[in-house]
């Protein structure tokens, strides 16, 4: 029988352990704490927000609480690593500044029209567990998504009009006969109050009737010195929160300085007892900014006729056509008796009145002359 010492036994056990298969414990993941109590801290639930305007976006800062989540990892030891979370924002309308809608803090661009829903527009944040299980490990790290939603009321917005190009307010003569134009804002949330004001150029236009409805009626009083020199403002108030919108408009009127004429042709002929002359003319009716007036009603008057035995008549009135064009036929009459006395000219001053404003044109025809021979002179058009 061989006896071994204590040292020899220890060495033998060590050799057995070194040559035995190694046992490795499996690594398994489990959810531990959940994502809870998410809150949107800005804007406040129920906030009133002004709609974006053509001149400027309404930017709204959005933020939420910082959340945390841990998982349980069981291996040779047990640990509780923190999860990686993502924050994603969504909305019912509007847009995100620079297209960015992720992160705890984002910027929402409010829409340019008021809220149509009774509850308003919603903004929501969704927090997602983005952690992954490393290769070779197993289990579950996926916690349920958590969301928070608020509602805001968008009101105010741009001013609209049925005026040409949304700008023009037409001035007739006298001003009291000028047509009115309507301006308005879109349908607002229930309980909205309105206040319309002319904040610039109030000597050129005035509000007709109420200034506290969703629509307002304007009438011109004096021609604008520059385009868009009359400013109309509306203040929409709901729940103690006010939004202001402003638009610019122009009061325009027919202008002699900007109108023009062209001689299309002249002809004259004789026949007892008159010597008759005819002038075909056209002219373009424009406002004080050289812009054509289409559909403006024109009339003609005569004054300062020069020449014995002269009489004159215009043919027809009407409304200006495309480009503000008016065509007219003018007649002058002179008796043979006066012609025989050596008077060979008729002069006449024709004033064109457009919508009652006589400054539209002052067209002279004193070049209408005739010679003794031939008796009939025709200048083709």
Average pLDDT over residues 207-227: 97
Backbone φ and ψ of 355, nearest 5°: 50, 40
> Do 241 and 294 share a structural domain?
no
> Do 244 and 165 share a structural domain?
yes
Instruction: Please check the confidence at residue 346 and state whether its pLDDT lies above 60.
Output: no
Choice between 349 and 88, residue whose per-residue pLDDT is larger = 88
> Do 39 and 148 share a structural domain?
yes
Residue 345: how many CB atoms within 10 A of its CB?
14
Strand order in the sheet with 105-109: 40-42, 59-64, 105-109, 95-96
In a domain, 225, yes or no: yes
> Do 342 and 237 share a structural domain?
no
Instruction: Give pLDDT, residue 134.
Output: 87
Q: What is the secondary structure of 212-274 as a DSSP string? A: SSSEEEEEE-S--SSTT-EEEEEEEEETTEEEEEEEEEEEE-B-TTT-EEEEEEEEEEEETTE
> Do 131 and 74 share a structural domain?
yes
127 CB contacts (<8 Å, ≥6 apart)?
35, 38, 64, 67, 85, 86, 87, 145, 146, 147
C-alpha distances in Å from residue 249, one per residue of 125, 233, 295: 42, 11, 20
Helix and strand totals (H; E) in the chain: 2, 29
In a domain, 223, yes or no: yes
List beta partners, residue 61. 107
CATH of the domain at 232: 2.60.40.1080
pLDDT tens per residue, range 279-293:
667 778 889 999 999
Task: Return d(Cα 245, Cα 96) in angstroms, integer.
Answer: 23
Instruction: Please check the confidence at residue 250 and state whether its pLDDT lies above 60.
Output: yes
Instruction: Please check the confidence at residue 265 and state whether its pLDDT lies above 70.
Output: no
Instruction: Give pLDDT, residue 178.
Output: 95
Task: Tell me which of 213, 232, 252 is where a domain ends.
Answer: 252
Fill in the DSSP letter of residue 26. Answer: P
| Domain count along the chain | 3
Instruction: Give pLDDT, residue 315.
Output: 54
Average pLDDT over residues 367-376: 38
> Do 304 and 278 share a structural domain?
yes
Instruction: Give pLDDT, residue 356.
Output: 83
pLDDT tens per residue, range 82-120:
888 999 999 999 999 999 999 999 999 999 999 987 889
pLDDT tier for residue 36 given thresholds of 50, 70 and 90: confident
Instruction: Give pLDDT, residue 272.
Output: 56
Residue 12: how many CB atoms within 10 A of its CB?
10
> Do 177 and 75 share a structural domain?
no
Task: Tell me which of 207, 224, 252 is where a domain ends.
Answer: 252
| Two structure tokens written together for 322 | 């495309």
Choice between 191 and 130, residue whose per-residue pLDDT is larger = 191
| Two structure tokens written together for 126 | 């969704």
In a domain, 296, yes or no: yes
Task: Return d(Cα 376, Cα 268) in angstroms, integer.
Answer: 6
Instruction: Give pLDDT, residue 64.
Output: 97
DSSP three-state, residue 145: coil
In a domain, 331, yes or no: yes
Task: Return d(Cα 232, Cα 161) in angstroms, integer.
Answer: 11
pLDDT tens per residue, range 40-74:
999 999 999 999 998 899 999 999 999 988 888 89
pLDDT tens per residue, range 136-183:
888 888 888 999 999 999 999 999 999 988 899 999 989 999 999 999
> Do 242 and 175 share a structural domain?
yes
Instruction: Please check the confidence at residue 240 and state whether its pLDDT lies above 60.
Output: yes
316 CB contacts (<8 Å, ≥6 apart)?
328, 329
Instruction: Give pLDDT, residue 13.
Output: 41
pLDDT tier for residue 211 given thresholds of 50, 70 and 90: very high
> Do 78 and 49 share a structural domain?
yes
165 CB contacts (<8 Å, ≥6 apart)?
none
Query: What burial letters (b/e) apply to 328-340, b meaning 16+ CB within 10 Å?
Result: bebebebbeebbe
pLDDT tier for residue 223 given thresholds of 50, 70 and 90: very high
Instruction: Please check the confidence at residue 214 and state whether its pLDDT lies above 90.
Output: yes
> Is residue 200 within 8 Å of 235, Cβ to Cβ?
no
Instruction: Give pLDDT, residue 372.
Output: 35
In a domain, 22, yes or no: no
> Do 326 and 361 share a structural domain?
yes
pLDDT tier for residue 33 given thresholds of 50, 70 and 90: confident
Across all residues in the chain, what is the average pLDDT?
A: 81
Task: Tell me which of 155, 172, 193 is where a domain ends.
Answer: 155
pLDDT tier for residue 130 given thresholds of 50, 70 and 90: confident
CATH of the domain at 367: 2.60.40
In a domain, 17, yes or no: no
> Do 293 and 316 share a structural domain?
yes
Rg of the chain over Cα atoms, rounded to whole angstroms, equals 43
> Do 98 and 207 share a structural domain?
no
In a domain, 3, yes or no: no
Choice between 193 and 283, residue whose per-residue pLDDT is larger = 193
In a domain, 2, yes or no: no
Quote the domain boundaries for residue 343.
Answer: 260-379
């Amino acid at each position: 029988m061989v006896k071994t010492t204590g040292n020899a036994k220890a060495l033998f056990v060590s050799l057995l352990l070194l040559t035995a298969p190694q046992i490795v414990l499996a690594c398994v993941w489990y959810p531990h704490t959940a994502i809870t109590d998410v809150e949107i801290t800005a804007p406040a639930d129920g906030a009133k927000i002004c709609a974006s305007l053509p001149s400027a976006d309404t930017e709204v800062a959005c933020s939420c609480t910082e959340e945390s989540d841990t998982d349980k990892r069981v291996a040779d030891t047990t640990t509780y690593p923190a999860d990686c979370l993502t924050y994603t924002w969504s909305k019912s309308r509007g847009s995100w500044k620079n297209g960015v809608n992720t992160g705890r803090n984002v910027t929402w661009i409010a829409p340019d029209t008021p809220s149509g829903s009774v509850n308003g527009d919603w903004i929501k944040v969704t927090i997602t567990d983005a952690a992954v299980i490393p290769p070779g490990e197993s289990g579950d790290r996926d916690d349920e998504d958590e969301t928070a939603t608020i509602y805001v009321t968008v009101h105010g917005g741009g001013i609209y009009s049925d005026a040409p190009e949304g700008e023009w307010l037409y001035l007739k003569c006298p001003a009291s006969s000028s047509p009115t134009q309507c301006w308005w804002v879109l349908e607002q949330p229930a309980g909205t109050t309105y206040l319309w004001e002319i904040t610039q150029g109030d000597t050129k236009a005035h509000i007709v009737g109420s200034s506290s409805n969703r629509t307002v009626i304007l009438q011109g009083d004096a021609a604008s010195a520059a385009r868009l020199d009359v400013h109309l403002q509306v203040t929409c108030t709901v729940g103690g929160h006010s939004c202001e919108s402003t638009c610019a408009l122009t009061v325009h009127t027919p202008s002699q300085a900007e109108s023009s004429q062209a001689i299309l042709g002249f002809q004259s002929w004789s026949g007892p007892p008159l010597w008759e002359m005819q002038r075909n003319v056209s002219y373009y009716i424009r406002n004080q900014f050289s812009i054509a007036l289409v559909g403006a009603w024109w009339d003609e008057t005569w004054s300062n006729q020069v020449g014995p035995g002269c009489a004159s008549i215009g043919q027809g009135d009407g409304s200006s056509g495309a480009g503000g064009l008016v065509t007219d036929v003018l007649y002058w009459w002179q008796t043979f008796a006066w012609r025989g006395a050596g008077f060979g000219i008729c002069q006449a001053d024709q004033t064109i009145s457009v919508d009652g404003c006589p400054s539209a044109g002052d067209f002279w025809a004193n070049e209408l002359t005739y010679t003794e021979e031939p008796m009939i002179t025709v200048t083709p058009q």
